[in-house]
Structure 1
């Protein structure tokens, strides 16, 4: 095991999977988690959030979910699971340690700075901080003048807060439809999307879709294949969401073009008063601490398969479609962790030889200079 640590930034599902894989690869991991416990962003998701994959397909390496393997775990179950998982991984986990910057060292290592003023040396860095801290909120004309409740789904918690109101939910993915559906029991809700909502059956042939993704290998398809096959957002559905749209419980309209002071202006120019607008428009990698390295391209990591293309010894985990459809999920991050940690361990093992070679080159240069 190396004497100098590998710093893992983030103690959620990606960071914990990275820590376990680091031990297997013979590295010494130190996990830095910004929150009060190593469970990532799970406690901050909306109350009713439910996994779309059954428990049997949703575990990290080495520890299955307890209980019925065919149930769909909810937010608090996942949080409790991660809490237990952290206890099984015998590594140094430091909570309330938010990383503010990563800088290069002359020897090829890194200095990791935290908001507490700490400076930690590292032989390698794993950016496993996810994306929940960086929600993507589009900007539309008139947005600053809108007087209603405007938020990203990252800041949504319960449907009861919208009782009796007129609500628009923006987005055509799983979160958008799930949130719109539960609010519709308390308020009048419209889904605003750029294209019709596309549904994918939750169960096929009596089995959950994830069974078929596993046995066919579709869950492991590389990004270059996925981007050709998956061109639009799809919603996993048992039929309840499709029925809600068909029955009028939920309505859908083409995306509005602007805000008005009291609502929105729809694509056909019709204005409508709206009490609240919730954007379920996704997230971007939360890796601003890598800016001092020059490792980002307009905020996005410059990487292939989780391996930095700019800095040896820097790897990523939990990026959407990093290596497969499941890369940023509980069921898929373990495979990616093993991949990037194998690469990181190979880099670390080469460093002593590289340093010795540099010293030899310097000695040779000095010797030739003396002869002249």
Structure 2
């Protein structure tokens, strides 16, 4: 298949990770539209943020939720300045316009292939209606398109509604119902907090939820992640953010605590047609289950490159820690700690993007 255009770098995804990579490519002297291009599956700016639930709030003030080069405009309200979803979407839209990144959209990349057997030859990026050639590909597709639905006993027998946090939108849709929220992370806590204002909610977790102190938010988490990176460089041990806890006490979660609804039960044993069955044999009737069980990296487009190891993982290497060990023309940015500490966050992805671009530019100049 012949390519319609050829670039030094093709970035897959124009959410926060793709935009951060685009910014640093431009800072390195590459011209958007000529030397590199962003290809995005969505029909509008903002990455996954426009598809998240309406009441979502960040864990940090705007200044600690910014991409490289331009601070997110402040958001000030009773929630200590923690911006809501729509504020983030507006910022990402303005960011891509500010730096004239002009992503090609909507083009969902189906496959990345080698053009031939030449290890330094081009890669071919294929999507319906668009085929590009690239010397380097940066995959920045995130995780939102790969929600993790656990295979759970009785799931097919349950007659009520099953939602994932990726498909949940607003509490009013569950008003007056009996709802079970599954998961012990931030998404579960925030969803529980708002759904419990209109419905009878039961919270279940695999292990007791761990709440961070009220004065710990994304600023502390980022600083801790930064300290971990530095410790790794110096060969020192560091617990990272794992030792602090899992759930940030944003305003809605603190309010839910005040109402006494932040009480979690152990995970149920199975689903039954009208609810859940606990390990001790007791049952609980419910109308809906919301699975706040996380996501997996959206990497199906890279399957033709056969980059996974025997455990199903994509090993990475290089100075930035984002280059595929099996295909050095491919970098992965923004998927979480395995490709860069805090790289799945707005503020954290800039560091990973900068190091990745430096490595790519060095390769282009050889």
| Short-chain TM bin | 0.7 to 0.9
Q: Does 1:122 align with 2:129?
A: no
* Change beyond 3 A, Cα 1:220–1:50: farther
Matched with 1:10 is: 13
SS in 2 for 1:176: helix
Pick closer, same or farther for the CA change 1:212–1:79 going to 2, 3 Å. Answer: closer
Alignment partner of 1:102 is 2:105: no
User: Higher helix fraction: Structure 1 or Structure 2?
Assistant: 1
5 Å-filtered alignment, 1:1-372, equals 4-27=7-30, 28-68=35-75, 71-106=81-116, 107=118, 108=120, 109-116=122-129, 118-203=130-215, 210=219, 213-214=222-223, 217-218=226-227, 220=229, 230=242, 234-237=246-249, 241=253, 244=256, 248-297=260-309, 300-304=313-317, 305-322=321-338, 324-350=340-366
Gap change, CA 1:229 and 1:179, over 3 Å in 2: closer
Bigger CA drift: 55-64 or 213-222?
Answer: 213-222
Q: Report deviation, 1:262.
A: 1.0
- TM-score if structure 1 supplies the norm length? 0.85
In the alignment, the residues of structure 1 paired with residue 183 and residue 86 of structure 2 have an alpha-carbon distance, to the nearest angstrom, of: 25
Q: Counterpart of 1:99 in 2: which secondary structure?
A: coil
Give the secondary structure class of the aligned counterpart of 2:132.
Answer: strand
Q: Deviations over 1:13-35 (max 9, x none)?
A: 11111111112234422100011
- 3-state SS in 2 of match to 1:123: strand
- Aligned to 2:103, the other structure's residue is in SS state strand
Is the contact made by 2:332 and 2:339 (CA closer than 8 Å) also made in structure 1? no
Q: Tell me, in whole angstroms, the C-alpha distance in 2 between the residues paired with 1:216 and 1:290.
A: 28
What is the distance in 2 between the residues matched to 1:348 and 1:272? Answer: 60
Aligned counterparts of 2:265 and 2:155: Cα–Cα separation in 1: 19
Give the Å deviation of 1:271: 1.5
SS at match of 2:261: coil
CA contact (8 A) 1:33 1:93 kept: yes
Of 291-300 and 28-37, the range deviating more from structure 2: 291-300
TM-score of the superposition, structure 2-length normalised? Answer: 0.86
For structure 1, the 5+ residue unaligned runs are 351-372
Residue 286 to residue 127, structure 1, CA distance change in 2 (3 Å): same
- How far the C-alpha of 1:226 sits from its partner, in A, is 6.2
Task: Report which stretch shifted further, 227-236 or 288-297.
Answer: 227-236
1:79 and 1:188 mapped to 2: Cα distance? 31
- Is the CA contact (8 Å cut-off) linking 2:7 and 2:37 kept in structure 1? no
What is the CA–CA distance in structure 2 between the aligned matches of 1:226 and 1:170, rounded to whole Å? 30
Report the number of matched residues: 344
| Conserved? CA contact 1:29–1:91, under 8 Å | no
For the 8 Å contact 1:220–1:326, the answer to whether it is kept is no
- The 2-side partners of 1:243 and 1:337 are apart by 36
Match of 1:143, SS state, is: coil
Higher Cα radius of gyration? 1
Deviation at 1:235, TM superposition (A): 0.3
Contiguous gaps of at least 5 residues in structure 2? 1-5
